[in-house]
Amino acid sequence: METAYITSPLGITKIMGDQDGIAVISVSDVGENEVSVVIPEILKEAVLQLQEYFEGKRTNFNLKLNPKGTEFQQKVWKSLLEIPFGKTISYSDQTKKLGDLKAIRAVASANGKNPLWIVVPCHRVIGTNGSLTGYAGGLHRKKWLLEHENPSTQQSLFS
């Protein structure tokens, strides 16, 4: 498994993957990890697409993904890929689409374990009342991402 660290507006982004696909994209506060001087060939496309996203030039990703998780988690993460750029859904809406409203806590837990920050957009899932609930990367990052994807609407909602 190859690893690269890049800077982003939200901290240091860690990218891990191999020939089977990208397994991890996570973020940490600046200073926790060193930025990679050399990006492994297998991760260059992921680095490029993330940079384009942060520059406002990319609205969807075209990467081979290989996240590790249970069958249920995989199903939940796959459903996140259906949320369009600049849009949000509630946890209850996501749970309904998955077919079992009673599973809302399990769905929220699976979202929290999403290993592919931004690319699998769990930040687009909000509370039923429109609140920014739960985000493994921190609510300040979730707010930033939502505003980045939909500046006019989100700034008025979350200012």
Report residue 94 as tokens: 């996501």
3 - beta bridge partners?
Answer: 16
CA distances from 155 to 8, 45, 148, 149 (A): 20, 31, 9, 11
Euclidean distance between CA atoms 136 and 154, whole angstroms: 20
Euclidean distance between CA atoms 43 and 48, whole angstroms: 9
Which residues are known catalytic residues? 122
CB-CB contact of 80 with 122 (8 Å):
yes
CB-CB contact of 152 with 158 (8 Å):
no
Report residue 63 as tokens: 């990467």
**In terms of DSSP bridges, do strands 89-90 and 125-126 run parallel, antiparallel, or are they unpaired?**
parallel
